């Protein structure tokens, strides 16, 4: 009997399944078709031209749109048979692109369509497009949405609008996809409003604790500097560093009565860390390299919270142009620091040797709310249980990254997690509430300065919260 074999049929079946799965994947991912329409007479882009995506050769409509002020059009569709693009405008000859037969690509660039005028009047058609660089366009959306420009915010915007990655500029009125976070509930708004009211109070008890914290550092500073045999890789610079911290804190003592609760807590956190380091140095009669670097980092954070001449004097006399965390002696110059303090005045301004801008920076707080997003199988997730109420957000001064016990936990879980912050830089940590595991984020730090470059915004139900968008890799 002849032995039967089914291998040819099996191979054909495998190939068929592979083709079907590839087709299904393409449909799931979708296709983008883009191109431009220009006036053949003026060689300028044409706006509001009706552009139709049609099947080829049957000419059945798939979808229709209009060009923007750059003459640009963009179609997105889940299914894409062989197609043509047809452009129609009154006073012009209808033009049709060459036919396309889609392959495995997701983006198709159609050759620019040039429309021939059929009337003399149409020949003088001139578009006046306002073209802006893509980064400027994205930043304008951040302003309209009241979003802090974090890396997570940029990544989210480009994930929603991947076509913008491949162009340098767009029309100012380009229609793009915006993130749709869940609405803030009434109870959450009430909690946020109450908490911000507490954070911005000038509580005498908190101010007294801050004064005690500064006094403790001053006492320890005197003890350390009185040690004659103190050891350090650079004793002279170490003493200047400790003195600069001392002078910065002392000059702030007479301004403590204006300090709001949330700001006072930030300063106390840094001052207490300074005191612990100095106490350790007193016991060992030495300021080692690690202690010196951490004190430098703390001084940098304090210099933003407590702007003073002492810091700038230390930078200039130590031949430093400013220093970043981790030992990089770069980043904060006198000119750039002065620009940090350009913000509006608070109502509690009083005459001082400090500038009005510096006083405003010292006293002002802004309300923020953390929002979380992530990519799941290439899909942006903003709303469902994959992110909502799943992550706790912690923040801290960058100098205290090692001191996890000094981290501040935001409440409630994101999205949304509330926090009231001064104008400064902060580190960030995100923890999965169900696994209690630290998750990776695209942003390791964030700066609140952008929120202070515009007037305070108040809504009917309380202050307008600046949104801090964080992407998690979980």
Checking if the pLDDT of 124 tops 60, the result is no
**Each residue of 427-438: b (16+ CB within 10 Å) or e?**
bbbbbeeeeeee
Average pLDDT, the chain: 80
Q: What are phi and psi of 350, to 5 degrees?
A: -135, 155
Task: Concatenate the DSSP letters of all residues of 84-100 into one string.
Answer: EEEEE-TTB--EEPPPB
CA distance 123 to 104: 40
Give per-residue pLDDT as tens, 43-89. 888 998 999 999 998 888 888 888 988 888 988 888 889 999 999 99
Give per-residue pLDDT as tens, 299-336. 999 988 887 777 777 777 765 543 344 333 333 333 33
**pLDDT tier, 210 (very low <50, low <70, confident <90, very high otherwise):** very high
Q: Identify the pLDDT of residue 472.
A: 94
53 and 60 in contact (C-beta within 8 Å)? no
Give the gyration radius of the chain's Cα atoms.
30
Q: Identify the pLDDT of residue 54.
A: 92
Q: What are phi and psi of 414, to 5 degrees?
A: -80, 155
Give the Å distances, CA to CA, from 339 to 208, 216, 449, 450. 31, 32, 10, 12
Q: Identify the pLDDT of residue 10.
A: 52
Give per-residue pLDDT as tens, 353-393. 344 544 454 457 889 999 999 998 888 999 888 888 899 99
Task: Count, in order, helices (H) and strands (E) of the chain.
Answer: 11, 21
Work out the average pLDDT over 347-352: 34
3-state secondary structure 301-356: HHHHHCCCHHHHHHHHHCCCCCCCCCCCCCCCCHHHHHHHCCCCCCCCCCCCCCCH
Give per-residue pLDDT as tens, 229-240. 888 888 888 889
CA distance 240 to 317: 9
């Amino acid at each position: 009997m002849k032995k039967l074999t089914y291998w040819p049929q099996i191979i054909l079946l495998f190939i068929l399944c592979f083709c079907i799965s590839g087709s299904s994947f393409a449909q799931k991912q979708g296709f983008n078709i883009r191109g431009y329409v220009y006036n053949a007479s003026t060689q300028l882009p044409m706006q509001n031209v009706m552009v139709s995506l049609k099947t080829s050769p049957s000419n059945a409509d798939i979808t229709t749109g209009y060009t923007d002020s750059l003459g640009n059009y963009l179609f997105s569709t889940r299914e894409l048979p062989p197609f043509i693009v047809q452009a129609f405008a009154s006073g012009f000859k209808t033009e049709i692109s060459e036919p396309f037969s889609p392959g495995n690509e997701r983006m198709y660039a159609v050759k620019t369509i040039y429309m021939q005028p059929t009337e003399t009047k149409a020949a003088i058609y001139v578009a006046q497009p306002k073209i802006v660089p893509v980064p400027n366009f994205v930043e304008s959306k951040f302003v309209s949405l009241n979003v802090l420009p974090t890396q997570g915010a940029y990544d989210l915007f480009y994930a929603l609008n991947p076509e913008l990655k491949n162009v340098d500029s767009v029309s100012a009125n380009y229609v793009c996809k915006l993130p749709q976070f869940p609405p803030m509930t009434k109870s959450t708004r009430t909690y946020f409003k109450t908490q911000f009211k507490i954070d911005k109070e000038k509580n005498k008890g908190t101010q007294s604790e801050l004064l005690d914290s500064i006094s403790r550092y001053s006492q320890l500073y005197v003890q350390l500097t009185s040690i004659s045999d103190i050891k350090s890789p650079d004793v002279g610079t170490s003493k200047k560093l400790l003195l600069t911290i001392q002078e910065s804190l002392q000059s702030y003592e007479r301004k403590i009565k204006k300090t709001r609760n949330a700001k006072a807590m930030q300063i106390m956190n840094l001052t207490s860390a300074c005191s612990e380091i100095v106490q350790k140095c007193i016991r060992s009669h030495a300021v080692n390299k690690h202690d010196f670097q951490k004190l430098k980092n703390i001084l940098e954070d304090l210099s933003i919270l407590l702007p003073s001449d002492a810091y700038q004097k230390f930078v200039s006399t130590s031949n430093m142009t400013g220093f970043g965390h981790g030992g990089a002696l770069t980043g904060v110059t006198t000119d750039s620091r002065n620009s940090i303090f350009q913000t509006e005045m608070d109502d509690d301004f009083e005459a001082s040797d400090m500038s009005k801008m510096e006083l405003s920076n010292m006293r002002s707080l802004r309300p923020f709310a953390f929002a979380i997003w992530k990519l799941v199988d290439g899909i942006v997730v903003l709303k469902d249980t994959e992110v909502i109420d799943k992550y706790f957000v912690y923040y801290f001064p960058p100098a205290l990254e090692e001191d996890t016990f000094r981290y501040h936990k935001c409440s409630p879980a994101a999205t949304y997690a509330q926090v009231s912050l001064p104008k400064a830089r902060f580190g960030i940590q995100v923890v999965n509430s169900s696994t209690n595991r630290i998750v990776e984020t695209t942003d390791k730090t964030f700066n609140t300065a952008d929120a202070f470059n515009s007037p305070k915004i108040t809504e009917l139900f309380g202050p307008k919260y600046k949104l801090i968008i964080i992407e998690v890799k979980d």
